[in-house]
Amino acid sequence: MLSSAPPHPIHDPEHEHSNGCCADPAVLKSRVRGSYLGLAIGDALGATVEFMTPYEIRHQYHVHQEILGGGWLRLKKGQVTDDTTMALALGEAILATGEINASAIAAAFDAWMRAKPVDIGHTVRSGLMHYRRTGKTTAPEDEMSAGNGACMRCLPIAITTLGANEKAVRQASKIQAHITHNNPLSDAGTETVILMIQALFKGQTLNQQLHHYAHPLAAKYPQFYFRKRPCQNPSGFIGHTLRVVFDALFNTDSLEDCLVEAVNRGGDADTTGAIAGMLAGACYGETAIPQRWLKALDAKIQGACTAQAEQLLSLRNAASEVNWE
């Protein structure tokens, strides 16, 4: 399945449902669809206040909690940004080839950039220019590329490798991440988010998530430490991004409150919203998404996200039966 996966067993049959996951198939589907919709909704919600400070948001909206469009990108209501459209490009490349193939993914990202997306991050652009110049699918290792651009688009990897062992999941994550972001901190954050999403798909509680993933990540890399002082006005640095996301996820008890908490911190709010949305959607499922947000989200994007969620899940189910044992 992974184009260069090691030949080790990746399922743990003792703890698995017949679909390779602890969750009932209908529950799993709701969590996977909820995660993809959460990504798009968090992106659309946060984009309105991207680069605003929490003070400016309070002054203008009191609490920002409606999908309105606008923002510095002057979006239409319900429109999403690079976070969602890059994830969709990644998912399309996986579906087209039936595997996590670096060349196919890099070509899909390049085609995405040629189509003039509404927004593109600096590290993503320079990584894709490097690919265009050299044909290489790994960007040069870079101390400065600990941005959140690889993490924001990671959801298709989480769905496709659900049930794989941790080593294979981390390897798959690096294949897509390193096309633009070749940095250990970006890797650690992105891989942790993928593993958290997968554990939520399987029914892990938020309390277990704290102890299994968030605390160990912060113990290893203090840049992710989120308990001391709330991170406000986060930059595109992965450490700031995940501090806001963890704070929002672990200090609320609904998808709506989690997303509202994340985006009202301002800064890179579309991306904190997108990542919080993936995790909260995986945790609470599709039915937890407020109807008013689903109604406001661009219908084409909504259809693309739910279709891709299901297709990636089917690909993963087929792969787990055929290739991965």
Least Cβ distance, residue 309 to Mg ion (angstroms)? 20
Q: What letter would DSSP give residue 186? A: H
Task: Kindly give the residue spans of alpha helices, DSSP state H, lying in 115-220.
Answer: 122-134, 155-160, 166-177, 184-201, 206-209, 215-220
48 counts as binding Mg ion under rule CB under 5 A: no
The answer to whether the beta carbons of residues 180 and 127 sit under 8 Å apart is yes
From its phi and psi, is residue 71 left (phi > 0), alpha (psi between -120 and 50) or beta?
left
209 counts as binding Mg ion under rule CB under 5 A: no
Q: Near Mg ion by CB under 5 A, which window of 20-28, 83-91, 218-226, 299-307?
A: 83-91
Q: Closest Cα to residue 177, out of 243, 251, 261, 87?
A: 87
Site string for Mg ion, 267-296 (x = CB under 5 A): -x-xx-------------------------
247 counts as binding Mg ion under rule CB under 5 A: no
Residue closer to Mg ion by CB (options 20, 71) is 71
Q: Closest Cα to residue 66, out of 215, 206, 220, 260?
A: 260
Q: Near Mg ion by CB under 5 A, which window of 13-21, 212-220, 264-272, 287-295?
A: 264-272
Residue closer to Mg ion by CB (options 82, 92) is 82
One residue of 5, 40, 78, 82 binding Mg ion per CB under 5 A: 82
Place of tokens 């409606």: 66
One residue of 83, 247, 261, 286 binding Mg ion per CB under 5 A: 83
One residue of 19, 30, 79, 81 binding Mg ion per CB under 5 A: 81
Instruction: Please tell me the number of Cα atoms within 13 Å of 175 on its side-chain side.
Output: 25
40 counts as binding Mg ion under rule CB under 5 A: no
Q: How many whole angstroms separate alpha carbon 222 and alpha carbon 220?
A: 6
- Count interface residues toward Mg ion (CB under 5 A): 7
Query: Which residue has its beta carbon closest to Mg ion?
Result: 81
Q: Near Mg ion by CB under 5 A, which window of 76-84, 138-146, 217-225, 292-300?
A: 76-84
Residue closer to Mg ion by CB (options 83, 92) is 83
Residue closer to Mg ion by CB (options 30, 85) is 85
E strands present in the chain: none
Q: DSSP states of 207-256 as a string?
A: HHHIIIIIHHHHHH-GGG--SSS---S--SBHHHHHHHHHHHHHT-SSHH
Residues at the interface with Mg ion (CB under 5 A)? 81-83, 119, 268, 270-271
